[in-house]
């Protein structure tokens, strides 16, 4: 595959960025949840 570098880089950037953001959101919410009792979360 010619230009394979660009193409693979695109996929890595795309799913990598999404994954990194997802991880960041989960970690952020775990940090905030430490001080909030479980029963107060409105979506549960």
Partner 1 sequence: MNTSTSTKVSPRDRVTGTPFTRGLGILVLAGMVLLIVLGLFVSPADVNQGESVRIMYAHVPGAWLAYLAFIVTAVSSAAYLWNRTRSLTWDRIAGASAEVGVLFMGISLITGSLWGRITWGTYWTWDARLTTTAFLFVTYIGYLAVRGLGGTHQQRARRSAVLALLAVLEIPLVHFSVELWNTLHQEASVAGRGTNVDMDGLMLFTLFLGVVVFTLMYVWLVLHRQRSLTLDDMLDDSGLDNALTARRAEAEGMAR
In the numeric block, the tokens 């799913």 are attached to 15
30, two tokens = 């775990």
Least distance to partner 1, CB of residue 30, Å: 5
Scan residues 1-30 and list those touching partner 1 (CB under 8 A). Answer: 1-4, 6-11, 13-15, 17-18, 21-22, 25-26, 28-30
39 belongs to the binding site for partner 1 (CB under 8 A): no
SS (H, E, C) the chain: CCCHHHHHHHHHHHHHHHHHHHHHHHHHHHHHHCCCCHHHCCCC
Residues that bind partner 1 (CB under 8 A): 1-4, 6-11, 13-15, 17-18, 21-22, 25-26, 28-30, 32-38, 40-44
């Amino acid at each position: 595959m010619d230009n394979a570098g660009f193409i693979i880089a695109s996929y890595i950037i795309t799913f990598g960025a999404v994954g990194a953001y997802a991880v960041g959101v989960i970690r952020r919410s775990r940090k905030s949840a430490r001080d909030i009792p479980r029963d107060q979360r409105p979506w549960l």
